[in-house]
Structures are given as C-alpha cells and as structure tokens.
Structure 1
Amino acid sequence: MSTDNQPSTYIVDVNESNFEDEVVKKSFTVPVMVDFWAPWCNPCKTLMPIVTKLAEEFGGKFILAKVNVDDNQPLAGKYNARSVPTVKIFRNGEVVDEFMGAQPEGNVRKVLGNHIESESDKLRAKAGELVKQGNVDEAVTLLQQANQEDPDNPGVRMDLIGALFAKGDYESVEQAVAALPVNEREAPEIKELENRLLFVKAAADAPLADELMTLIEKDPNDSASRYRLAARMVVDGETESALGELLNLMMRDREYGDDGARKGMLAILESIQDPAVAGTWRRKMASVIL
C-alpha cells in the first residue's frame, strides 16, 4: 500500500497540462479511471477511498487519475463532468464507460471488470491461438483451467464449448451446453452449434456420400441413408443440397426419426443468413406439410 511519503504509481493527480500524457496516452496501454471530484463534495469523500483501494489492489491493471474540478473547470467542462463525483473510464484514447455519484465497491468492481483483462481472458486468448494452430487438445485444457479459475466468465464457457466441438468430444459439448445459464443457452451461436451437432452426430459413423447415393438409387425409400446423406451434406457445407434431400424425405416418410426431416430442415434454416433463400425453402416445406 502507498503512504503519504511514497505515492502510488497507480494513482496520479491530473490537470490540463498532464491530462494528455497521464490519461489519453496511457489509456492505450491500460484502462484509466478518471475521477472528477471536489474537496467540498461529501459523496466524493465516500467514493475516493473505494477507487483508491481498488487501484492499489489491482496493482497497475488500471490507473486512477484524479481531477479536482475546482482547479480544472475547463477540463471538467470538456468531458461533461457537470456533477461530482463523475467517473469516466478511458481506453485507447476515448471514454468507454462512466458513472456518476458515490457507488458501492461491488458496482465499481463490476464497471472495472468490463474493461480490465482478467487472467482467464489471457488464457482464453492463448487458447484461441492454439485452436488456429490445430492444437485443440491444449486449447481445451487451457479453457477448462480458465473456467475453473473464473466460472463467471461467459466468454470462457462459449470458447470451451467451441473447442470441445472442434475436438469432436460431442458428449462433453452436450453436457456443457446443458449446464449453461438460460440466457446463454439461447444465444444464436449456441443454437447454431446445437443444430450443427445434430448433423455431425448423424454423419459421424455414416458411409461416404457416394456410397449413400448408391444405396438411395437402389432403394429411394431408404430413409436412414437419405437422412445420413443430408447430414453429410450439411457437414460439407452443401446446405441447399441437404435441404433438398430432407424435403424429399419429408414427402416420402414423415414418421422417420420422429419427424426428423422437418426438424432437420428447421435446424438448417435457423442458420441460413440469406432471407430469400430461407424463405424459398420455408415455402417448399410448408407446401409439403399442407
């Protein structure tokens, strides 16, 4: 902890002459929290010990810059600090967050948490590089470690599920998805992953596409082979061909896989970005249902 005789390197008094260097330029390296305060302000006296404590505790992960508005009216006006205390977070030269009035320590921590890179975020970034390099097993290990150390980081959870999918550990993917909070379970990227998992599992032990086509030519009513062929097409990125096979299956065998063809089409259509293409196939599907 700092003392009066040994000022903290993480806390600085700023004014118009040093604001550019101490706030704007430093914010390209770490977040800078600027506290606009005044000596006569009682809420300032409540907030200042909190932000000072956090600056020391975080040990340089952010800088606390204090602006006495009585002595720096033009600076306060420039950044629209009309009341005190006003706190603004600078990152990469710009204000990225702010709050006014005295806040409980928990609230201040939450604001800081949105802008300070955590150890779990560092592990997450490293894991992302490993995935790009094809080292999926190492990435999964790092993300599992990050998830244990920081279970409240949703980005880690999402990346772990993606890495498990890339590894082919589909059972673990399903377990991880099932354990997600409801709001994260409904995220578009999770829905898309679940839809893709449906087809990946169906294609996992299926014959090659050419073999499946041969089986279907011999027996056009071979529902299992047609569904597996559609699944292989989805995995290979042949989305519209897969939709065609599933539509054919709907017309021939609505009972297969508990209406699996219709469910499969809906799963594919959820991930199609082109509204015109999706609309065309929805109309085709509707005509079969009717």
Structure 2
Amino acid sequence: MPDSPFIIDVTQSNFTEVVLEGSRERPVLVDFWADWCQPCRILMPVLAKIVEDFAGRVILAKVNSDQQQALAAQFGIRSLPTVMVFRHGKPVDQFMGVQPESAIRTLLERHLPRESDNLRSAALEKLRAGDAEGALAGLQAAFESDPDNQALKIDIARALVALGRADEADETLKTLPMDLHQDEAVRRLEAQVRFARVAARGDELGQLEAAAESGDNPEAMHRVAAAKILAEDYETALPLLLRLMQKHRKYGDDAGHKGLLAAFELLGAQHPLVKEYRRKMVSLLY
C-alpha cells in the first residue's frame, strides 16, 4: 500500500493523538487487522481508496491487533477486520468483515462535517440559553440548506418540545429513518415527547393533582405524572404511573405501563429508581 498522509499506523503511544484528538477535527476510521487475516487484506485497499478520495476529510488509523493487543481488548474487538468510526473523541459507528465500498461511504458520510454544522451549533447555543424560538428558526434555516442532515430534525424536535409544541415534535421525529429510532438520544427524546403531549400545565396541574391523588381519575393521574416527569420529579411520577398501571390497565392502552417504560428510558437502566420500579412493574405483570 503506498504511503499516504491520510493513512497512519497506530499504536498505544500515538492512539490518543491520532484517533481521540484527531477525531475532534474530522472522522477517523480505525481498522483493527492482523497479518494472518485474509479478509483484512481484501478490505485494506478499499479503505485506502476511500480515504484518498476524501482527500483529508477522513483519516484511516490502522491497528495491528496482534501487536496492539491492549488496544484491541480496550475496544472489545472479537473478530477481524473490525472498523470503528471515531468522532469527537469517541467511537460513534462500526462494522465487521468486508463491506462494499458504497456501504462504507454511506456510513462515513453520516459523520463528515457539513456546511450546516455552524448554523446548527449557533442554534443549539440559543437553545441552551433558553431562546427556543431563536433556536428553532436557526435550525429550520439550517435544515432548508441541508435537508439530508437528519441530526437537524432531532434538534428541531427538541426545540419544539421546549416551546410546548409536542405534537409537531412527534411528527418531526416520525420522519427520521428507521435506524435512527434505535439511537439512545432519539429514544430519550421520543420518551420526553410522549410525556409532553399529555402533561398538565399551569393552573390545570394544581386542579388535577387532587383528582390524581384519589386514584379514581386515570386521566388526571396520567397527566400529572407526565408533568412531574418533565419537571424531573421522578419520585412523585413513578409511584403515580405504577398506581395507574395497577388500577386502570385499560386506560390509554395501558398508559401506566407505557409511561413507566418511557420514564425508564429517560432515567437510564442503571438508575436506582429504574431498578426499584422495574421490579414493581414486573410483579404487576406476572
């Protein structure tokens, strides 16, 4: 394979510089290979051609897994070749085995810097500062300039939730490609949208809390629990959802059960409340 400034042999000593730090500027393909691996040798020229065509927009970091066993173990490499995509200091994608050139290009293009990224960054800064209207306008402008950038749809949905326009956020998320619905950030946002669409607000919340406390009004229970979830008051919301599931299984197509699952998505599997209420939920199911 000819020498190239875009193809670098990586060891434990230069991994941080080449891969972790380098991926903050552009995607880094990390190819875990070995001399004895025939599929690795088939894949190598394909990867080399791709990075040469991208002319510096992507770097290929080659890791000889036999010589760099600690690196291979660190990233859980079980079969060769394994190719991981690093971006912003962490792995964001991967594939194993020999893949068609077109499939590898499609995977890479998801992580390449785009012209709309600057507009997106400015809009997200507005969202963090509490200017959801300004953020939405900026994100929509970015999407008009780059309609293939699916990440912008996720950000638009997030801004719509902040503006209380949960139904529009839900419709926006429905237009995402199916594979993105498996992304953890998207699943969490979908759970948030689920609660935002039913949550009680303002004076209405105060009026419904008493009705929810009685346990006889499933709609009140559902809407109050959703409001508490959005306020991150999980200690109040989870018992209410569990009670809704226990007393009103037919309400909202088992809204209590679905609400608990959505809350678990927001909190994460290792959260103590998730472990506690998952046990309680399972006991009601069985």
Partner of residue 231, structure 1? 226
Using the alignment, how far apart are the partners of 1:116 and 1:226 within structure 2? 45
Instruction: Tell me how large the CA RMSD over aligned residues is.
Output: 3.9
Deviation at 1:209, TM superposition (A): 4.3
CA-to-aligned-CA distance 1:142-187 (integer Å, 9 cap, x gap)? 2222222222323323222222222222232122111110111221
Give SS of 1:203's match: coil
Residues 139 and 163 in structure 1, CA contact (< 8 A), matched pair in contact too: yes
Give SS of 1:285's match: helix
Give SS of 1:202's match: coil
Using the alignment, how far apart are the partners of 1:191 and 1:119 within structure 2? 27
Using the alignment, how far apart are the partners of 1:169 and 1:160 within structure 2? 11
Partner of residue 253, structure 1? 248
Residues 121 and 156 in structure 1, CA contact (< 8 A), matched pair in contact too: no
Partner of residue 244, structure 1? 239
Residues 172 and 223 of structure 1: is their aligned pair in 2 closer, same or farther, counting only changes over 3 Å?
A: closer
Residues 175 and 188 of structure 1: is their aligned pair in 2 closer, same or farther, counting only changes over 3 Å?
A: same
Q: Work out whether 1:286 is the aligned partner of 2:282.
A: yes
Residues 230 and 242 in structure 1, CA contact (< 8 A), matched pair in contact too: yes
Q: Work out whether 1:159 is the aligned partner of 2:155.
A: yes
Using the alignment, how far apart are the partners of 2:198 and 2:24 within structure 1? 48
How many pairs were matched up?
207
Larger radius of gyration: 1
Using the alignment, how far apart are the partners of 2:239 and 2:108 within structure 1? 51
Residues 206 and 228 in structure 1, CA contact (< 8 A), matched pair in contact too: no
Pairing 1:82-93 to 2, within 5 Å after superposition: none
Partner of residue 268, structure 1? 263
Deviation at 1:198, TM superposition (A): 1.6
Residues 116 and 195 of structure 1: is their aligned pair in 2 closer, same or farther, counting only changes over 3 Å?
A: closer
Using the alignment, how far apart are the partners of 2:276 and 2:147 within structure 1? 43
- Pick from 169, 178, 187: which aligns with 2:165? 169
Q: Structure 1: any 5+ residue segments left out of the alignment?
A: 1-13, 15-23, 32-42, 56-61, 64-90, 93-104
Residues 124 and 229 of structure 1: is their aligned pair in 2 closer, same or farther, counting only changes over 3 Å?
A: same
